[in-house]
């Protein structure tokens, strides 16, 4: 029984590490999402500077939409539905690595 518990724990740790590695920032790009009420502000930086005009795919609110960052490297979306939404933000960095972050956005009150 102890052996089974140890194997299960090791498997869970490995799966958790692999999942978190797939969703982390890349070495040159950082994706930051801040949520307040029914809004999410997305900020993307490249080597510490705002990533101007960079494409970000947003999945969750009204299906999928493609957004582009402003000169400040950011944009804001709102959940105008009557239901809270889980939203995925997807960016592909200059090396082809995909960065995925998910956030829960409250419903419009």
CATH of the domain at 91: 2.60.40.10
- Express each pLDDT in 25-36 by its tens digit: 667 899 999 999
Residue 46 lies in a domain: yes
Q: Is residue 68 part of a domain?
A: yes
Token pair of 5 as six digits: 């518990």
How many domains does the chain contain in total? 1
Burial of 91 (0-12, 13-18, 19+ CB in 10 A): buried
> Which structural domain, as residue segments, surrounds residue 39?
29-105
Around 27, how many Cα atoms within 13 Å sit in the side-chain half-sphere?
2
d(CA 60, CA 79): 10
Task: Flag whether 18 is in a domain.
Answer: no
What's the pLDDT tens digit per position in 1-52?
Answer: 555 444 544 454 454 444 444 445 667 899 999 999 999 999 999 999 999 9
Quick check: is 34 in a domain?
A: yes
% of the chain beyond a pLDDT of 70: 73
Report the distance separating Cα 91 and Cα 98, nearest Å: 6
pTM, two decimal places: 0.73
| Contact indicator for 67, 84 with CB cutoff of 8 Å | no
What are the structure tokens assigned to 6, written together?
Answer: 């140890």
Q: Let me know if residue 43 belongs to a domain.
A: yes
């Amino acid at each position: 029984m102890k052996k089974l518990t140890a194997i299960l724990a090791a498997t869970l740790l490995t799966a958790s590490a692999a999942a978190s590695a797939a969703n982390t920032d890349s070495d040159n790009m950082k994706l930051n999402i801040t949520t307040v009420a029914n809004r999410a502000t997305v900020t993307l930086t490249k080597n510490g500077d705002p990533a101007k005009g960079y494409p970000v795919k947003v999945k969750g609110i009204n299906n999928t939409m493609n957004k582009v960052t402003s000169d400040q490297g950011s944009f804001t979306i709102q959940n105008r539905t009557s239901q809270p939404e889980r939203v995925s933000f997807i960016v592909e960095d200059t090396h082809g690595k995909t960065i995925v972050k998910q956030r829960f956005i409250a419903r419009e009150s």
